């Protein structure tokens, strides 16, 4: 019997480490002979903590939302007693939603123990690297990637084979293969799941790519906020070295390649490849003009190739199964599968991996289960600070590298933040500008000062001080910032404003001219009052009010003093009788 506990960062945050501890002590106490392992995330984050029991005959039981008490029960009834506990099992519809996915980048996540290389090997691991290095030429490997149609998963969607080829043709005895694990888009965690759940797939992908371009060293740049990912990568690298998959004369050939980790220090712009290189060199992470591209002049001025975590995780599968198999999935020019991180106001938040070309509706409603509390779907944000908000009217847009940009957003790295009717689109634009304004490295004036000016205008609008001409000013700034910035951070920083202006212009106008926020989210524009008919004089709101703005007493009508009210909304949440009105 094998017992798996999903212990990605998300699982642990939901309490998986407590569950694991209960299982360990119960196993010791009852002298149970079963294999207990901690594994990565299977993507169903909304069902964490998850405990999977696989019987010797292969039968599988998946228990979800397991508490410490449930864990004790599972030991007693299932593991010792042999009886399944139906009420804790994963519901059928969730099983179906999981089974409807096609897992390539996430093929091992939640299935193997990421801290044990033998499990990765038992699932065919390192065979693709062996085949590449011992049987194929560098060009043959690149050809397979070309046939697969794999495009970079880090945001720009650039064909992977092309970069590898350029790096290979670039002269130099020392070349570098870099993995971009900076995952800066706030609201996306695909790369974290891969690194925590299947680090060897990334190492193997780097090894294959490294061989094809003739790299001598690999470096993984991981953001410091991912301590568990760094820990598991360290273990994986050590184990791969012991097996001889990294180091000198790999698979008995004369190819040598080793990988090391570099922890980032918290700067979004370091996800940009030239800034990343500067950071690797110990400098301030500031981008520089391209060309020369890293393939020609990268880390320490030498040929360097940079790919995203998920791009690498696909590579071993592609080499093992053939480029055609990957290209057979997906849409015309967006091949294969893509991992998306579904978050925000969605019922079933987590990771999904599906062939490209599914529509947003299929992803959000069929797989994601729709909107929390069955509220109204308003928009989905894709591409993070470089992307945009796609409105409900475009929900049948297929997710491909062609169709999504037509909406003004980008596929980006795969974050999908779902919003309902309580999300204010002007505030969302303000949120992203606040982010880019802080993260701008300061090199280009348009980016440094321009984002600040845009943020000031947006702050003004959400605070009820919007003026005539603000929208036009935003539009003008947006164009100038895009034109006057050196890297994609500045060039795309205005996108969240552009797309919300394009699809939700009426909300801007409402804020500016009518001083109204239809989503009821911008506090400065809200007034709270108490409905005399509905009020039951219970004093709940009165006690919840932090500013003493509500007068009244038990069995006496409650009244909100508008002068004192700070529109924090606590009375609204406290009232059990829908008597607090918000305008």
Partner 1 sequence: MSCERGCTGEMRYDYTELDKTLAYYGGTDGSLITVLQKAQDIYGYLPREVIEYISAGLKLKSAKVYGVATFYTQFRFNPVGKYLILLCMGTACHVNGAKTIEEAIIEELGISDGETTEDGLFTLSNVACLGCCSLSPVMMINQDTYGTLTADKVKEILDGLRAAA
Ligand X SMILES: Cc1cc2nc3c(=O)[nH]c(=O)nc-3n(C[C@H](O)[C@H](O)[C@H](O)COP(=O)(O)O)c2cc1C
Note the residues at the interface with ligand FES (CB under 6 A).
186-187
Q: Under the criterion CB under 6 A, does residue 350 sit at the interface with ligand X?
A: no
**Cis ω for the linkage preceding 363 (within 30 of 0):** no
Q: Which stretch binds partner 1 (CB under 8 A): 101-109, 311-319, 410-418, 467-475?
A: 410-418
Per rule CB under 6 A, is residue 488 in the interface with ligand X? yes
Which among 278-286, 290-298, 303-311, 540-548 is the span making contact with ligand X, rule CB under 6 A? 303-311
CA distance 199 to 234: 9
Provide the token pair at 548. 């003493």
CB of 571 to partner 1, least distance (A): 14
How far apart, in whole angstroms, are the C-alpha atoms of residue 205 and residue 318? 10
Q: Between residues 8 and 415, which has the closer beta carbon with respect to ligand X?
A: 415
The distance of closest approach from Cβ of residue 225 to partner 1 in the complex, given in angstroms and rounded to an integer, is 6
Of 318 and 367, nearer to ligand X (C-beta) is: 318
Q: Is 185 in the site for partner 1 (CB under 8 A)?
A: yes
- How far apart CA 164 and CA 44 sit, in angstroms, is 34
- Give me the 319-348 binding string for ligand X, x by CB under 6 A, dash otherwise: ------------------------------
**Cα–Cα dist 176/294, whole Å:** 10
List the interface residues with partner 1, window 335-394 (CB under 8 A): 341-345, 349-350, 381, 384
271 touches ligand X (CB under 6 A): yes
Shortest separation between residue 341's beta carbon and ligand FES, angstroms: 8
Query: Regarding beta strands 580-582 and 51-54, do their DSSP bridges make them parallel or antiparallel, or are they unpaired?
Result: unpaired
Binding flag, residue 311, ligand X (CB under 6 A): yes
Label residues 469-479 b or e (16+ Cβ within 10 Å = b): ebbeebeebbe
Residue 489 C-beta: closest distance to ligand X, Å: 4
At 120, is the secondary structure helix, strand, or coil? helix
Select from 195-203, 252-260, 481-489, 494-502 the region that touches ligand X (CB under 6 A): 481-489
564 vs 53: CA distance, rounded Å: 57
Distance of alpha carbon 492 from alpha carbon 501, whole angstroms: 15
End-to-end CA distance of the chain: 59
Cα of 206 vs its chain's centroid, Å: 21
| Cα separation values, 337 from 28, 85, 149, 340, 449, Å | 42, 35, 11, 10, 39
Binding status of residue 68 toward partner 1 by CB under 8 A: no
The residues of the shown chain that bind ligand X, judged by CB under 6 A, are 152-156, 158, 180, 182-184, 268-269, 271-273, 306-308, 311, 413, 487-489
Per CB under 8 A, residues contacting partner 1 are: 9-10, 12-14, 45-46, 48, 183-189, 192, 224-227, 262-268, 279-285, 300, 341-345, 349-350, 381, 384, 415, 417-419, 423, 428, 431-432, 435, 441, 546, 568
């Amino acid at each position: 019997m094998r017992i798996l506990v999903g212990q990605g960062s998300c699982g642990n945050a939901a309490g998986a480490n407590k569950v694991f501890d209960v299982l360990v002590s119960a196993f010791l106490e009852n002298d149970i002979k079963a294999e207990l392992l901690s594994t990565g995330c299977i993507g169903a984050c909304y069902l964490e903590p998850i405990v999977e029991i696989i019987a010797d005959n292969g039968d599988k039981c998946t228990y979800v939302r397991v508490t410490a008490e449930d864990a004790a029960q599972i030991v007693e009834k299932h593991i010792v007693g042999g009886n399944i506990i139906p009420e804790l099992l994963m519901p059928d519809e969730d099983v179906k939603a999981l089974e409807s996915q096609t897992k390539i980048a996430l093929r091992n996540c939640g299935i193997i123990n990421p801290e044990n290389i033998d499990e990765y090997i038992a699932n065919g691991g390192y065979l693709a690297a062996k085949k590449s290095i011992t049987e194929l030429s560098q060009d043959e490997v690149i050809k397979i990637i070309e046939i697969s149609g794999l495009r970079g998963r880090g945001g720009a969607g650039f064909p992977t084979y092309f970069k590898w080829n350029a790096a290979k043709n670039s002269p130099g005895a020392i070349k570098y293969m870099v993995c971009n694990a900076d995952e800066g888009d706030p609201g996306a965690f695909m790369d974290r799941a891969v690194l925590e759940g299947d680090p060897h797939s990334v190492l193997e992908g780097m090894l294959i790519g490294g061989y094809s371009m003739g790299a001598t060293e690999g470096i993984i740049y991981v953001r410091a906020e991912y301590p568990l990912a760094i820990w598991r990568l360290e273990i994986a690298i050590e184990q791969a070295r012991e097996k001889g998959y990294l180091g000198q004369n790999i698979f008995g050939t004369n190819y040598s390649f080793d990988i090391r980790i570099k922890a980032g220090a918290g700067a979004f712009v370091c996800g940009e490849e030239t800034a990343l290189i500067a950071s690797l060199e110990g400098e301030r992470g500031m981008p520089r003009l391209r060309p020369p591209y890293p393939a020609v002049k990268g880390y320490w001025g030498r040929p360097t190739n940079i790919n995203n975590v998920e791009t690498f995780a696909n590579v071993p599968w592609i080499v093992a199964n053939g480029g055609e198999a990957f290209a057979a999935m997906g849409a015309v020019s967006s091949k294969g599968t893509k991992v998306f991180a579904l978050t925000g106001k969605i019922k079933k938040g987590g990771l999904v991996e599906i062939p490209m070309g599914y529509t947003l509706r299929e992803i959000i409603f069929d797989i994601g289960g729709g909107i929390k509390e069955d509220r109204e779907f308003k928009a989905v944000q894709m591409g993070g600070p470089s992307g945009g908000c796609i409105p409900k009217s475009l929900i049948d847009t297929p997710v491909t590298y062609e169709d999504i940009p037509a909406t003004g957003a980008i596929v980006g790295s795969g974050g999908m933040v779902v919003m309902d009717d309580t999300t204010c689109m002007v505030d969302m634009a303000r949120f992203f500008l606040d982010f880019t304004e802080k993260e701008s490295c300061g090199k280009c004036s348009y980016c440094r000062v321009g984002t600040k000016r845009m943020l000031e205008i947006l702050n003004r609008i959400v605070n009820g001080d919007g003026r005539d001409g603000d929208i036009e000013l935003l539009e003008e700034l947006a164009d100038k910032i895009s034109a006057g910035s050196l890297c994609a951070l500045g060039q795309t920083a205005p996108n969240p404003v552009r797309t919300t202006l394009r699809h939700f212009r009426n909300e801007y106008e409402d804020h500016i001219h009518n001083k109204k926020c239809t989503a009821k989210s911008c506090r400065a524009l809200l007034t709270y009052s108490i409905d005399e008919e509905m009020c039951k004089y219970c004093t709940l709101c009165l006690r919840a009010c932090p500013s003493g703005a509500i007068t009244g007493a038990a069995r006496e009508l409650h009244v909100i003093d508008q002068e004192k009210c700070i529109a924090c909304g606590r009375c609204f949440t406290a009232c059990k009788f829908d008597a607090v009105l918000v305008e």
